[in-house]
Structure 1
């Protein structure tokens, strides 16, 4: 009997668990277990934040908590495509769009649900926030600290990416539903990401740029509320456009976590294990509403 190759073993394990990060394994799983619900996850760190020891540790992002519900149940084929740090514009353009499009085309019969997490990094990412902020002047309100024209242009770019996502969905998987979410209010702080007992230690994403613009601390949370609140408003409006009704669903996850609370937030912009579970719960509930056969 021929010895099982490394790829064959990986595919067998993926088919058993129903979860993979490899597109070729997903192709295999879909064809071998075509009766399962096909789910593709694409997004940013809220879908792909690394575990405490990178490969090991407790569940620490939304997709981890969803996987915990479906893994090994013989109900789902799930492909992870999310990548920590990705922007919506990045995911739906260039080579990343091409890869996503090819995956949809090759598995068009087998995909039922797309989970999408995008827009946060486009706004509060380290290279993206500074151009949206004004230098503070005495008496400025939180609203005046934001370059409103630049911010609205940024939002337009984000929702062009969402429109691209929906166009790909309509072209290749018109039967599939899209589920997305907004972002909870992050309290600016100096807490960055720490992995491997501090061997990997990054700066925070928002706070340094507010300080750089001489913006007082009492305006920090109000500024974040304006930025992420406006994104939420635009996302609700997008999902309610007549052409997208019953195609894309936004789960309102803003307000579930307490800004700056250490039980809810691991660092400046990423929840704790329990915080991510709080976010994942209504997302999975919506998935179950759409596909009652989910575990």
Structure 2
């Protein structure tokens, strides 16, 4: 009997060792060898940037690259199973809400070891188009050439505190079901504000719908030669949040510092204002691997 389209998709997913479908996830875990490293991923576009938008037929985000390196690489890394919960454009605050947490709980309530939970989040909570205008001032509160003068500290600190609480909510839920979990997140790299967004889809009439740019519209009043410095300040403050979370969960949580991996504005590294190219994501995935020792053969 011919297999259905859904059955064929499930078989392909199992062969690749990655899926976003819960039933396929359970089947994959039952089917594949026990010596695989089992990984659950949750996050934003750095884990879920779509291939069609990346102009790449190959890996288009960090997790795509981890799948490629582990399951289709040169054998230096152990093979893995990836259950992928991430969603393009998601905020960490949304990931910490009840409905999103239920999906994560389902992923953890299984009779198999989950060796790593990978989290990508926090950036959209303050650099997203709907937030950047609140975080960045229209006029400087101090010297015009000082990056700090352009930050709305009260608003930014509130958002960073929410990011910290969201991480804690997610981590606490993970540890409730898998107390020995290894949870890894990451910083973002320094991006160059620009007018380059992303084409989300092309209609039948060949017109397009675009998203972004995200950061630069909120920085239109900032001198152009100062904008990268403002971004660096924001990213560094976000890293301080990750440091605080790490101090709260020293035995379970860590993060990969991806700053200064890519060159801001380099078109071989950056596809648009906020998203790296396939090559850029590969470079970031290599940095993540340094924090995933169980994957080494």
Distance 1:144 1:28 in 2: 54
The corresponding residue for 1:38 is 38
Check whether the contact 2:54–2:60 (CA below 8 A) recurs between aligned residues: no
The corresponding residue for 1:80 is 84
Unmatched 5+ stretches in structure 1: none
Q: Give the 3-state SS of the residue equivalent to 2:219 in structure 1.
A: helix
Distance 1:247 1:172 in 2: 13
| 1:259/1:53 CA distance change after superposition, 3 Å | closer
- Measured against aligned partners, the alpha-carbon deviations of 1:37-66 in whole angstroms (never above 9, x if no partner) come to 211111001001111357962322111111
Q: Give the 3-state SS of the residue equivalent to 1:275 in structure 2.
A: helix
The structural deviation recorded for 1:103 is: 2.5
The corresponding residue for 1:120 is 123
Q: Give the 3-state SS of the residue equivalent to 1:265 in structure 2.
A: coil
Q: Give the 3-state SS of the residue equivalent to 1:96 in structure 2.
A: helix
Q: How many residue pairs end up in the alignment?
A: 286
RMSD: 2.3
- Tell me the TM-score normalised to structure 2 length: 0.88
Whether 1:225 and 2:232 are equivalent positions in the alignment is yes
Alignment of 1:4-83 (within 5 A): 4-33=3-32, 35=34, 36-52=36-52, 57-71=57-71, 75-83=79-87
| 1:221/1:76 CA distance change after superposition, 3 Å | same
Distance 2:107 2:58 in 1: 29
Which of 89, 93, 99 lines up with 2:97 in the alignment?
Answer: 93
Alignment of 1:244-263 (within 5 A): 244-263=249-268
Q: Give the 3-state SS of the residue equivalent to 1:30 in structure 2.
A: helix
The structural deviation recorded for 1:3 is: 4.2
Distance 1:193 1:79 in 2: 26
Unmatched 5+ stretches in structure 2: none
Provide runs of 4+ in structure 1 moved above 4 Å: 53-56, 195-198
- Measured against aligned partners, the alpha-carbon deviations of 1:57-93 in whole angstroms (never above 9, x if no partner) come to 2322111111102236893221111111000000111
| 1:12/1:157 CA distance change after superposition, 3 Å | same
The corresponding residue for 1:161 is 166
Q: Give the 3-state SS of the residue equivalent to 1:135 in structure 2.
A: coil
The corresponding residue for 1:185 is 190
